[in-house]
Amino acid sequence: MEKRLSRDIAQHLIEKSSKGDAEAFSEIYFSLKDPLYGFAFRMTNTVSIAEEITQEVFLFFIENSEKYDAERGSLFSFLCGVARNKVLNYLKKSGTRLETNDLEEDLFESPSNTWGRSPIRNLLDKEFSGKLEQCVQSLPPYQKEVLLLREIEELSYEEIAAITETNIGTIKQRLYRARQALAAGLEPYLKTEEVKYELHRS
């Protein structure tokens, strides 16, 4: 992934890419396409929209690569910020409320009924994964984006703040709330030793 590359290397590849070096561009593209697509998909929960957003992000990069400033953050942060804007535009158009949790009740619904039958079997059936996905998707967009950027992309608070154009205090607050919501939704699973073991192995 690009974030494992230094900013200098990313800058060097961008310079070559802007001069028409297709190999340099390919290197950038293949190192960033999956995390950007993953972010867009998890934020929108729609494959076609995620594909469209990912494509638009790279088209933007092709035409505006000179706008990237390595001093301000990683290339992924820069492009993730572009993806985020497109995601938020899509969510606003689709009527999603960005601040509140529309599915809060569902998020805190207890899975104990299904869990009681056979925890290991349910785990193998990916019920836990499904519930986790449901909990993540139920988060308000502002909390979800911060959680995804932190947990999946492993960005620092500073980088996340740069992408979301907020301050670190806001990032901490949103992250705290997102984790609280996940912890509440997954509490029954977390109390099970098998799940703990499985998660530990992962």
Q: What is the DSSP string of 24-58?
A: HHHHHHHHHHHHHHHHHHHHH--HHHHHHHHHHHH
Residue list 69-128, contact with other proteins (CB under 8 A)? 128
> Would you give the binding string for other proteins spanning residues 2-41, x where CB under 8 A is met?
---------------x-xx-x--xx--xx--xx-xxx--x
Query: Are the C-beta atoms of residues 140 and 99 closer than 8 Å to each other?
Result: yes
Total chain residues near other proteins (CB under 8 A): 49
Question: Residue 26 and residue 31: Cα distance in Å, rounded?
Answer: 8
What are the C-alpha distances in Å from 184 to residues 34, 49, 130?
29, 29, 15
Question: Residue 144 and residue 83: Cα distance in Å, rounded?
Answer: 14
> In residues, how long is the chain?
202
46 near other proteins (CB under 8 A)? no
63 near other proteins (CB under 8 A)? yes
139 near other proteins (CB under 8 A)? no
- Up-side HSE of residue 140: CA atoms within 13 Å toward CB? 16
Q: Which stretch binds other proteins (CB under 8 A): 74-82, 87-95, 100-108, 131-139?
A: 131-139
Binding site for other proteins (CB under 8 A): 17, 19-20, 22, 25-26, 29-30, 33-34, 36-38, 41-42, 50-51, 54-55, 58-59, 62-63, 128-129, 132-133, 136, 147-148, 150-152, 156-157, 172, 175-176, 179, 182-183, 186-187, 190, 195-196, 199-200, 202
